[in-house]
Structure 1
Amino acid sequence: MSGHGFHVHGPHDHELEHAVQGAHDEHGAGHGSGADKRMTNQIAMFTAVMATVGAIFGYMAGATQANAGLYKNDAAIKKTEASNQWNYYQAKSSKQNLAELALELVPEPRKAFYQEEIKRYKSEKAEIKAKAEALEAEASEWDRKSDEQMHQHHRWAQATTALQVSIALAAIALLTRKKWLEWAMFAMGGLGVLVGVLAALHV
C-alpha cells in the first residue's frame, strides 16, 4: 500500500514483474548477446500486453457469469408468475364447471344467470391463458439469454486461461532462453486472443 491508496496485484502481475526485472537486470549487468537482450525485451513486452488483455478477459468472464445468474433469476420469477396464472385459470375452470352443472339443475328462470356466468368465466379464462402464455414466453427468453451469457462466460474463461499459460511459458522462456518456448508462448497467446474474439462475437 502506498500513500496514494491500495495496490492490488492482478493474476499476471508477478510474472510481469519478473519479466521486466529480468530485462532490467540484463541491461544493467551488461552481459549477454544482443540476441538475448532482444529476446528479453520481446518477452517483457509480450508479457505486459498479455497481462493487460488477460485482465480485460477476466473482467468479461466475471461480468457474463453475473449476467447469466441474474437472467436465470428473472426466468424463475416469470415461471412463478406463469404458474400462478395457470392456477388462477384452473380456479376459473372449476367455477365454470359448477356453473354449467347448475345450468342443468336450476329452474328455467335462473338459467339465464348461469349462462352469463359461464360466458364470463370463458372470457376471463381466455385473458388469463394469454397472460400465462406470455409469461412463459418471457421466462423462455430469459433462460435463452442466461444460457448465452454462460456460453460467453466459458469462452472468456478459456481465453483468460490460455493467456495465463502463455505468460507462464514466457517466464520459463526468459529463464531458460529456449527459442521453442518463446514460439509456444506466442502460439498460446494467439490462441487466447482468438478465443477472446470468439467470445466477443458470441460464437
Structure 2
Amino acid sequence: MSGHGFHVHGPHDHELEHAAHHGQKDPFQGRIAVTTAVLATVGALFGYMGGATQANATLYKNNAAIKKTEASNQWNYFQAKSSKQNLSELALVLVPEEKKPEVQKEIDRYKSEKAEIREGAEKLELESRDWDRQSDEQMHLHHRWAQATTALQVSIALAAITLLTRRKWLEIGMYGVAGVGGLLGVAAALHL
C-alpha cells in the first residue's frame, strides 16, 4: 500500500488491490463488502442495545433488593411493635383495675402503629416485586439483543468466507443468518 514499512496483506486486501490496479470492478465483491459494512453497523447498534438492557436489568435488580431490604426492616419494626403489644396485653391482665385504661390505650396505640407499619411494608414489597419484574423484562430483551448480535457476527464471518471462496451457497447462508439476526433485533425492539 505505501512505500514505507512492512505490510501484511490478507487475501481480501490482495483482491481489492488487484482490482484497483487493473481497473476491474467485481459486483460480487462490492455487494459482499457493502453487506458486511451494513451488518457490522447494525450489529454494533444491536450490541449497544444489548449492553444497555443488561445495565438496566442490573440497576432494576439492585432497586428491587433495596426495596426488599426496606420492607424487611419494616417487618422487623412491625414485629417489635407486636412484641410490645403482647407485653401490654399481658400487663392488662396483671395490673390493678385503675391502670387498665392506660394499658388498654397503649395496646390500641400499638395496634394502630402496626397497621401503618404493615401497610408500608406491603407497599415496599410490591415495589420490590415491580422492580424485579422490570429487571426480568430487561434481561429478556438483553438476551434477544445478544442473539441478534451473535447472528449478525456469524453472518459477517460467513461473508468473509464467501468473499474468499466465492460459493453461492455460503452467500445464501450469509443472508439467511443475517435475516435471522435482523428478525431477532426486531423482536427485541418490539419487546417480544
- The normalised TM-score by structure 1 is 0.85
Residue 192 of structure 1 corresponds to: 181
Structure 2 letter corresponding to 1:28:
H
Correspondence 1:26-41 to 2 at 5 A = 26-30=19-23, 37-41=26-30
Match of 1:89 among 63, 66, 78: 78
Where structure 1 has 5 or more consecutive residues not aligned to the other structure, the ranges are 1-16
For the structure 1 residues 61 and 174, does the alpha-carbon distance in structure 2 shift closer, same or farther, using more than 3 Å as the test?
same
Give the SS at the match of 1:152.
helix
For the structure 1 residues 117 and 57, does the alpha-carbon distance in structure 2 shift closer, same or farther, using more than 3 Å as the test?
same
What is the alpha-carbon distance in structure 1 between the residues aligned to residue 156 and residue 47 of structure 2? 14
Residue-by-residue CA offset, 1:105-158 (whole Å, 9 max, x unaligned): 111110000110111000000000000000000000110111111111111111
For the structure 1 residues 21 and 94, does the alpha-carbon distance in structure 2 shift closer, same or farther, using more than 3 Å as the test?
farther
Residue 128 of structure 1 corresponds to: 117
For the structure 1 residues 72 and 20, does the alpha-carbon distance in structure 2 shift closer, same or farther, using more than 3 Å as the test?
farther
Correspondence 1:1-203 to 2 at 5 A = 22-23=15-16, 25-30=18-23, 37-203=26-192
Q: How many residues align?
A: 183
Q: What's the offset of the Cα at 1:41?
A: 0.9
Give the SS at the match of 1:202.
coil
For the structure 1 residues 175 and 94, does the alpha-carbon distance in structure 2 shift closer, same or farther, using more than 3 Å as the test?
same
Identity %: 67
Where structure 2 has 5 or more consecutive residues not aligned to the other structure, the ranges are 1-9
For the structure 1 residues 25 and 119, does the alpha-carbon distance in structure 2 shift closer, same or farther, using more than 3 Å as the test?
farther
